[in-house]
Amino acid sequence: MGLLDKIIVKLARRNEMRSRYLRKYFQSKHRIVVGMYSYGCFDADRIGADTTIGRYCSIAPTVQVLRRNHSIHAISMHPFLFNSSVPFDVKREIPYFPCIIEDDVWIGHGAIILPAVNKVGRGAVVAAGAVVTKNVPPYSIVAGNPARVIRMRFGSETIEQIESTRWWMLDENELAAKLRELGEGAFCPERIGIP
């Protein structure tokens, strides 16, 4: 990344939830797709290539989304077999494994998403320090090493009601209007119900 790019990215991060420039830059330069209003995910050292992050995601600044791993099937696991700066004629690319983090996901401090994971479902919570080794179901809360489902955020009927609103597709002005409409239901949908 050139000096001008670094300066522009640093300035754009001040408004990372709304910056279309950051989203275009990370998609074209790092193969990281980030939905609007998501934050904490504009760091190619922590978020691997071929990661797609949905809208309204909250990602702690210490989260790692790893998209490739050392090859355990080669003569060595050291990157010299794969590093283009090492003067060997035989080289291979270590493949990236795509991962989709759906809308409204919260990933806590120090969580690690390993390359075997290809989906973190909408509305899921990944607890601080979790090591995620398999896909995360929508609206679940996972914790531990390896991460496992602790509980669901809501019952199936409430999840259906939330899904029917498709609120994550709204821009911030539309969402503000929707929240006024929902009233207290936005904070406790299982008790009050969603219109």
Residues designated as active site: 70
Bridge partners (DSSP) listed for residue 100? 52, 119
How far is Cα 132 from Cα 113, in angstroms, rounded to an integer? 5
DSSP 11: H
In one letter, which amino acid is 30? H
Q: Which residues touch 92 (CB under 8 Å, ≥6 apart)?
A: 71, 81, 82
How far is Cα 159 from Cα 82, in angstroms, rounded to an integer? 45
| Element holding 157 (H helix, E strand) | helix 156-165
Q: What is the 3-state secondary structure (H, E, C) of 19-32?
A: CHHHHHHHHHHHCE
